Amino acid sequence: MRAMIWVAAVTAVLMALIGGFCGAYSSDTSRELREQVTQMTAVIRSGDGEAAMAEALRLEDTWREKSALLSLWVNHQDIDDVSVGIQQLKVSVEEGETYHALRCLAELDEALAHLYHRDAFRLRNIL
């Protein structure tokens, strides 16, 4: 009986810790990268190609740093969508295709929002 209480208590704490940590990490990563996407959109609109490339590389570095841990609980397809989006963005910036780069940024923003939205503790997701 005592063992059962312990198992239930430890599992409850573990669940709360895993849930809390995963949720917070996904949300922070999503927010941080989306802020970078917003900044980059402004840079691209200003027409500064070099600054845009620097922003793209910074975005890539941040993503590499964060995605290793995210893949433990985020659907791997969602991770791949962001990785592919960043690569497409880099190519567009390199080629100086402003319209295509802005389209890539919009898609990337959506993919980054999706990282957290799919797991967010909302009635819509539960149902």
Partner 1 sequence: MFTVFTRTLILYAVSVLAIRLMGKRQVGQLQPYEFVLALMIAELAAAPMENVGTPLLYGIVPILGMMLLHGLATLLSVKSTWFRRLLSGGPSVVIRRGVIQYDEMRRMCYTTTDLMEELRAQGYLNVADVCTAILETSGKLSVFPHGNKRPVTPEDMGISVSYEGIPQTLVVDGRVQKDHLKTCGLTESWLMDRLKPIGYSDPRDVLLASLDTQGRLFVQGKRDGDKMHLLQAMDENKVGW
Which chain residues interact with partner 1 by CB under 8 A?
1, 4-5, 7-8, 11-12, 14-15, 18-19, 22-23, 71-77, 119-122, 125-126
Closer Cβ to partner 1, 14 or 57, answer by number: 14
Q: What is the CA radius of gyration of the chain?
A: 18
Residue pair 43/55 in contact (Cβ under 8 Å)? The answer is yes
Closer Cβ to partner 1, 6 or 61, answer by number: 6
| Shortest Cβ 107–partner 1 spacing (Å) | 20
Strands of 1-98 (E only): list them.
Answer: none
Closer Cβ to partner 1, 17 or 91, answer by number: 17
| Shortest Cβ 88–partner 1 spacing (Å) | 21
Start-to-end CA distance of the chain, whole Å, equals 35
Helix, coil or strand: residue 118: coil
Tokens representing 127 are 């149902």
